Amino acid sequence: MSAVAKPELRRLLYNQIKTNLIVSIGLGIVGGIVYKIFICDARKAKYSEFYRNYDIDKEFERIKSTGVFDSCPPGS
């Protein structure tokens, strides 16, 4: 009969913490990069496209014609 190997108990917690720390740092970095690419860059592109086509004078005239501004009565 062969002897059953003893379980590794020395530094077991240290080894598990080290492994978990490496994995969590790696996942955090990957998650940050994915967030930047898919959310931040996409949002910047949408804002850029909006302001590329935005005419502030036309928008001001549209809002003024509805009578929203008290200081600018419609038709003036």
Residues 6+ apart with CB under 8 A from 75: 65
Residue 59 falls inside a structural domain? yes
pTM of this structure: 0.61
- The pLDDT assigned to 3 comes to 85
Residue 57 falls inside a structural domain? yes
CB 57 within 8 A of CB 65: no
Residue 72 falls inside a structural domain? no
CB 26 within 8 A of CB 18: no
- The pLDDT assigned to 1 comes to 66
- The pLDDT assigned to 7 comes to 80
Residue 25 falls inside a structural domain? yes
Range of the domain at 35: 20-64
- The pLDDT assigned to 63 comes to 83
The tally of domains found in the chain comes to 1
Q: What tens digit of pLDDT does each residue of 14-64 get?
A: 999 999 999 999 999 999 999 999 999 999 999 999 999 999 999 988 888
Distances (CA, A) of 29 to 14, 59, 60, 67: 23, 42, 44, 51
Residue 48 falls inside a structural domain? yes
